[in-house]
Amino acid sequence: MARTASGVDLVDLTVPDDGEEAEPRIARLRGAVCALAPRADQEEFSGRAADTLPVADRDPFRTPYAVVHDGTAVGFGVLDVQGYLDEIADEPGRAVLLRGFYIGAGWQRRGFGGAAIRALPEAALKLAPWAEVLLLTVNVRNEGAVRAYLAGGFVDEGRRYFGGDAGPQHVLRLELASY
């Protein structure tokens, strides 16, 4: 669990793959993130946890996270150590991909997105201690998200990804060496 100074935690939502049920807190958070949705104008870019969490559960390379403030889920995202990294990374084996990240519509504009972005490097390195870079793709039309990621330390080196369902995307990177 990564914690920022602002009181936001990134809580791993992975369930045991041995047939055991998730611990009660994780089960509660999983239900809560599935009830969250981004704003309607953002959904085409991130999707909803109700759809992306089951996909992450079936993929051993993806780790779903809840963004939690004071015990309440306020957002969701997935860290992926495979995905389409071979299409966007110079060295895919040294990268982690952030995907499906959003803060619930009712929780936006309270600093939780920025706090979660600042907590991502620690979570990425905990998941993949060998990683050197955290990458994400963000739709070129999603200007607010681009600004938030850049403010959080991600860099746009001018690369584009054209494999997304909603059109061209910026490829943003955050070096993990300093974390």
The string of pLDDT tens digits covering residues 109-165 is 999 999 999 999 999 999 999 999 999 999 999 999 999 999 999 999 999 999 888
pLDDT (0 to 100) of residue 6:
63
pLDDT at 3 over 60: no
What's the rounded Cα separation, in Å, for the pair 42 and 108? Answer: 12
User: 17 or 80, which is more confident?
Assistant: 80
Measured distance CA(115)–CA(45) in Å, rounded: 20
Digit-coded pLDDT (tens) for 46-95: 999 999 999 999 999 999 999 999 999 999 999 999 999 999 999 999 99
Please give the tally of structural domains in the chain: 1
Note the pLDDT of residue 142. Answer: 93
CATH number, domain of 140, equals 3.40.630.30
At 4 the pLDDT is 46
pLDDT tens track for 29-43: 999 999 999 999 999
Alpha carbons 106 and 111: distance in angstroms, whole number: 12
- pLDDT at residue 1 greater than cutoff 60: no
Structure tokens at 14: 């992975």
Domain ranges, residue 84: 2-175
pTM: 0.92
Question: At 84, is the secondary structure helix, strand, or coil?
Answer: coil
Q: How far lies 168's CA from each of 78, 80, 137, in Å?
A: 20, 20, 9
